[in-house]
Amino acid sequence: MDNTNSFLYIKIKEYLLELIDKNKDIPNYKLPSENQLALKFDASRISAKNAIKSLQNEGLVYRLQGKGTFINHNINSHSKSFKNTTNSIKISDFENENIICMLIPGIDSRFAINIINGAKEYLESNDFKLVLMITDTNQDKEKELIKTALNMNCRGLIIFPSDNQIYNPEILKLSLNKFPTVLIDRKLEGLDISYVASDHFNSAFNATDYLVKKGHTNIGFISPSPKIASSVCERIHGYEKALSSSVGLRDQLKLTLPFELENRTQSLKNYLSKNKDISAIICEGGMTGLSLIKIIYSLDLKCPDDIELILYDNEFEQYMDFLPCKPIVIEQNPHEIGYTSGKVLQNLITNKSTPQSITINEKIIF
């Protein structure tokens, strides 16, 4: 196993879920501490803490100050994966309710949680109830959950699509039937359906332009494959546009991350080794950003002295004081994305309005 702390969050969480499943009938069963988990998986305490916090948010565990983390025995069942619990929902439980269903890949990021909170704030203030469904970025699961939501007689849907390459036929049906639906973060071209997201093109253009004006000429851009989501495509286009109109574009300074999480650390190392003249990088945040910082410092480089970093999403604000540097952050205002999606959906439901496409301006945090 690679010594980096990258992408260990999922492994730690699944390990804890296995412990919970095996020991759910043992009273006062105490789970391993953050330090123990970090040692076991050769990870950072951040990964361990986030895994425990995610389980706590799901109601599977509870924490006692100074005593540790314990299995919550008030729950009836556990899963060994990121299992959505909507299969156990009785449709009759939601009859005559003003239900809105939100489908989202997961709740393991501040970006996703803030989107949820924004939508919840608007919808609950307007007498709707929000039901959250986790798709695990699985399109087959997304299809089934859309069907489940419709069987619940929900009034509308907010969907963070799981895949951008192949249309989910259930989303296509929603568009054709004009069912009140709002997509968030990702745009599905050709569908007459509402969409709310960050201004991905201009966020990347403005970040690149900022670095150019600071005198950087070798600016890297690290992202997942543009095939995954329209948001990634738009960011790449913004980066390319800013460079092509100023210092010129060098394709070798763009890195497309491999899909397999375990291969990303080596990909980052190879990228930095081949491009030693890079003086600035724009990169996705989260574990990839943390890995990049660790690798940069392992090469006896410093930020921003040797490489200036701009990372997407303020995923580790609470850990910033523990990092060896403070990167610039592109904040996509996820709370406003969620809040606006709720507002657009209500207009679709109550006013039978036509679909809207709304972009939310990013905020750069220095």
Contacts of 21 (CB under 8 A, 6+ apart): 78, 79, 80
Same domain, 19 and 140: no
pTM: 0.72
pLDDT band for position 110 (cuts 50, 70, 90): confident
* Residue range 316-365, pLDDT digits in tens: 777 778 889 999 999 999 999 999 999 999 999 998 889 999 999 998 88
* Residue range 123-171, pLDDT digits in tens: 999 999 999 999 988 888 999 999 999 988 899 999 999 865 667 889 9
Same domain, 321 and 204: yes
The residue among 298, 316, 315 whose CA lies nearest residue 307 is: 298
Q: Write down the pLDDT at residue 88.
A: 39
Q: Write down the pLDDT at residue 75.
A: 52
Range scoring the smallest mean pLDDT among 19-23, 63-67, 141-145, 213-217:
63-67
Q: Write down the pLDDT at residue 285.
A: 82
The phi, psi pair for 234, rounded to 5°, reads: -65, -40
Average pLDDT, the chain: 86
Please tell me which of 6-10, 203-207, 228-232, 260-264 the model is most confident about, judged by mean pLDDT. 203-207
Q: Evaluate whether residue 3 is within a structural domain.
A: no
Same domain, 103 and 213: no
**CATH, residue 180:** 3.40.50.2300
Q: Write down the pLDDT at residue 84.
A: 41
* Neighbour tally for 108: CB within 10 Å: 20
Contact status, residue 9 vs residue 287, Cβ threshold 8 Å: yes
Q: What percent of the chain has pLDDT over 70?
A: 91
Q: Write down the pLDDT at residue 22.
A: 85
Same domain, 117 and 228: no
Same domain, 40 and 102: no
Contact status, residue 251 vs residue 221, Cβ threshold 8 Å: no
Q: Evaluate whether residue 84 is within a structural domain.
A: no
Q: How many alpha carbons fall within 13 Å on the CB side of residue 54?
A: 24
Distances, alpha carbon 155 to alpha carbons 100, 143, 283, in Å: 6, 17, 38
Q: Evaluate whether residue 76 is within a structural domain.
A: no
Q: Is the pLDDT confidence value at 267 over 50? A: yes
Q: Evaluate whether residue 88 is within a structural domain.
A: no
Same domain, 326 and 211: yes
Indicate the Cα dihedral angle 125, 131, 132, 133, nearest 10°.
-150
Q: Evaluate whether residue 366 is within a structural domain.
A: no
Radius of gyration of the chain (CA): 22
Q: Is the pLDDT confidence value at 223 over 70? A: yes
Read off the pLDDT of each residue in 93-117 and give the average, rounded to a whole number: 84
Same domain, 176 and 204: no
**CATH, residue 26:** 1.10.10.10
Q: Evaluate whether residue 153 is within a structural domain.
A: yes
Contact status, residue 310 vs residue 328, Cβ threshold 8 Å: yes
Q: Write down the pLDDT at residue 165.
A: 60
Same domain, 205 and 297: yes
Q: Is the pLDDT confidence value at 81 over 50? A: no
Number of domains in the chain: 3
Same domain, 177 and 206: no
Q: How far is the C-alpha of 29 from the C-alpha of 72, rounded, in Å?
A: 9
Same domain, 181 and 204: no
Q: Is the pLDDT confidence value at 3 over 60? A: no
Q: How far is the C-alpha of 190 from the C-alpha of 182, rounded, in Å?
A: 15
Q: Evaluate whether residue 234 is within a structural domain.
A: yes
Q: How far is the C-alpha of 227 from the C-alpha of 307, rounded, in Å?
A: 28
Q: Write down the pLDDT at residue 2.
A: 38
Same domain, 321 and 340: no
Same domain, 152 and 112: yes
* Residue range 9-61, pLDDT digits in tens: 778 888 898 888 888 888 788 999 988 888 888 777 888 888 888 888 777 88
Q: Is the pLDDT confidence value at 96 over 80? A: no
Q: Write down the pLDDT at residue 286.
A: 81
Q: Write down the pLDDT at residue 194.
A: 96
Read off the pLDDT of each residue in 237-260 and give the average, rounded to a whole number: 91
Q: Which domain holds residue 124?
A: 96-198+334-361
Q: Evaluate whether residue 125 is within a structural domain.
A: yes
**HEC profile of 178-236:** CCCEEEECCCCCCCCCEEEEECHHHHHHHHHHHHHHCCCCCEEEEECCCCCCHHHHHHH
